[in-house]
A and B are shown apart, each in its own frame.
Chain A
Amino acid sequence: MNSQTIDLVYLVSAALFIFSLKWMSDPKTARNGVFAGVAAMTLAVVGTLLRPDIASYTWIFIAIVLGTIVGVPLSWVPLTAVPQRTALSHAFGGLAAGLVGIGKYYLFLHGGELTAFRTGAIVFEVALGLMTCTGSLVAAGKLQEVLPTRPVTYPGQNFVNFSLIGAGVLIGVLLVVNPAWTFLFPALIVLSLVFGVMLVMPIGGADMPTVISLLNSYAGLAAVAMGFVLENKLLIVAGALDGSSGLILSIIMCRAMNRSFANVLFGAFGQVAAATAQGEQRTAKSATIEDAAQILENADRVVIVPGYGMAVAQAQHRVRDVFEQLTKKGVDVKFAIHPVAGRMPGHMNVLLAEAEIPYDQLVEMDDINPEMGQVDVCIILGANDVVNPAARHDKSSPIFGMPIIDADKARTVLANKRSMNPGFAGIENELYFAPNTLMLFGDSKVVMGELAKQLSGEGGMH
């Protein structure tokens, strides 16, 4: 194929990528979005394979076959593990960009075409790509709990990180000034790999939704930089779409936690929080499953707030059972979804969808809060910080200012938790000591299973 035809194929591919994302805006058309994406990618790959300069296909096909063999099982992970899978994929994306950048540097160098502009683009590509690679691996390790999920910090951390950035920028500038200073290039590679680790290690579990979106953005920008290096518009378009997606999601996540980017990147959440544990002894009231069932049967409106505790316990199917029993009895049940509940944006929605809970029952925080005053029972399932009223009034709390679901405004709160240990942010939740709160201690899956049994047993017999 001549280069003009290939450009046309790329043009169609770029348009399909845009449609792919556009169709994601509504669950009804979302699957078409996937098909458009697949079509776009197929066109891009076939178009590229038909370029006149592609001489040998053996290695490429072996790589594609191996990639397929690894990729298919990767898509079978349980939905609780989707954040890890996504982080791992960002690592692979970053690696690909980094390797292509490295390869192109030496090719341009030996071909004598290493201009300052190309070097600049390569520096961006390699730095972003490799940093995304190791950073995402650390994030995946934290999510899989192979690495400590708590923020790992040490004195002088910001100084070390800023020094690394400084050194990276210096090397980058020197390489642009004189692209042939090849001894600097390996230093850039090592520095980028190390920086990725340093960037993500200090970030704790609660900030993971933001980190994952941010890494998504970096992976996209690495592809954009590759587009500049290869002078390929399709790479720039697709990379920019991915980059802006990650950016928007990060902004949404930061807003949902009332935090700034800088705060997420350079401040560790857990540390501040540990100091605020108060000495005052308060007692929480606990309830039995029978009590809870009775309260729920007398309710008209119930709101369930799912959190990561539900995900860890894999309790979503038992929750569906409770949902069905209550619905059968004519109780109006809704789910209140906080944007940062879970470990990646929108994670709760996916888990509840897996349990076949209809998505019309899932309500976003901003839409449910005005109604919380009229709710009879609010069930909190392994969610903690996202319902902590301290965020509204306690200026000393590390989560002060974070928008929360107003669970405390419900007439009765049933809070399921394994113990009284504080959540991700390491803060005690005063909601659990409120007069209208009853604790249901235990694993979410067990508690919800028992509750569903109670509700069905009584409903069925009489």
Chain B
Amino acid sequence: MDFITSLFVFMLSTFIGMDVIRRVSRLLHTPLMSLTNAISAIAIVGAIILAGPQHDRTSTVLGAIAVFASTTNIISGFLITDRMLKMFKRKEAAK
């Protein structure tokens, strides 16, 4: 994959992101942020790629710490987003 292709992907996803996020109700901005926080933990992919191939001890350790940091974000990000969303109730639904 060359640099230009990467730029294309970046540009298009940014436009999609902008458009999708703009439609998110203000009501949900806090859950949105914990969700995107979990999504940014996609860095775990890079962390695994660094830790997995066993190049040398340093890169394995750095990669493993990065896997750890990303995992905490994935787990707590998704769990807390769901916890918050469960609380949003409409008038009829709230007892």
Contact call A246/B25, Cβ cutoff below 8 A: no
Question: Provided the pairs A86-B33, A90-B37, A93-B70 are in contact, do residues A364 and B26 lie with their beta carbons within 8 angstroms?
Answer: yes
Tell me which residues across on chain A come within 8 A of B72, comparing CB atoms: 67-68, 70-71, 74, 89, 92
- When distances are taken between beta carbons in the complex, the residues of chain A under 8 Å from B66 are 95-97, 99-100, 103
Q: Tell me the complex Cα distance, A44–B91, Å.
A: 38
Taking the nearest CB of chain B, how far is it from the CB of A74, in angstroms? 4
Given contacts A33-B35, A59-B60, A72-B79, contact A93 B89 (CB under 8 A): no
Main secondary structure of the interface of B (DSSP, over half): helix
| Contact present for A66 and B42 (CB under 8 Å) | no
Chain A, 241-255, contact with B by CB distance < 8 Å: what is the 0/1 string? 111111111001000
Taking CB as reference atom, which chain B residue is nearest A47?
B45
Q: Are B31 and A212 in contact (CB under 8 A)?
A: no
Q: Which A residues are CB-close (under 8 A) to B91? A: 358, 360-361
Q: Does A436 contact B (CB under 8 A)?
A: no
**How far, in Å, is A137 (CB) from chain B's closest CB?**
12
A262 part of interface (Cβ distance < 8 Å):
no
Query: How far in angstroms is the closest Cβ of chain A from B25?
Result: 6
A72 lies within 8 A of B20 (CB)? no
Interface size on B, residues (CB 8 A): 83
- B30: A residues at CB distance < 8 A: 82, 344-347, 349-350
Check B17–A21 contact: CB distance below 8 A: yes
CB within 8 Å for A241 and B48 given contacts A356-B87, A358-B89: no
Please state if A240 and B65 are interface contacts (CB–CB under 8 Å).
no
Q: Which residue of B lies closest to A360 (CB)?
A: B91
Contact digits for A421-461, partner B, Cβ 8 Å, 1 yes 0 no: 00000000000000000000000000000000000000000
In the complex, which of the residues B42, B85, B94 contacts A238, with contact meaning CB atoms closer than 8 Å?
Answer: B42
The residue of chain B having its C-beta at the shortest distance from the C-beta of A212 within the complex is B33
Cβ contact within 8 Å between B80 and A244: no
Contact of B46 among A24, A27, A226 (CB under 8 A): A226
Given the complex, which residues of B lie within 8 Å of A31, measured CB to CB? 82, 85-86
Contact: B13 with A241, CB < 8 Å? yes
Which one of B27, B49, B54, B84 has the highest number of Cβ atoms from chain A below 10 Å of its Cβ?
A: B27
A243 to B75, CA, bound (A): 20
Kindly identify, within residues 20 to 59 of chain B, every residue whose CB is under 8 Å from any CB belonging to chain A. Answer: 20-55, 58-59
Which residue of A has the minimal Cβ distance to B87? A353
A82→B80 contact, CB < 8 A: yes
Given contacts A45-B48, A60-B64, A95-B66, 8 further A-B contacts (CB under 8 A): A17-B42, A59-B60, A59-B63, A67-B70, A74-B80, A82-B84, A349-B29, A354-B87
Which residues of B are at the interface with A, using a C-beta cutoff of 8 A? 1, 3, 6, 9-10, 13-14, 16-18, 20-55, 58-91, 93-95
Report 30 cross-chain contacts, Cβ distance below 8 Å, ordered by A residue. A18-B16, A25-B25, A26-B25, A34-B85, A41-B38, A45-B44, A48-B49, A56-B54, A59-B67, A67-B70, A74-B76, A82-B30, A95-B65, A96-B47, A103-B58, A213-B33, A226-B43, A227-B10, A232-B46, A236-B10, A246-B33, A246-B36, A248-B22, A249-B21, A249-B33, A339-B26, A346-B30, A356-B87, A357-B94, A359-B90
The 9 nearest A-B residue pairs measured at CB: A67-B71, A346-B29, A71-B75, A244-B17, A54-B52, A75-B79, A74-B76, A240-B13, A238-B42
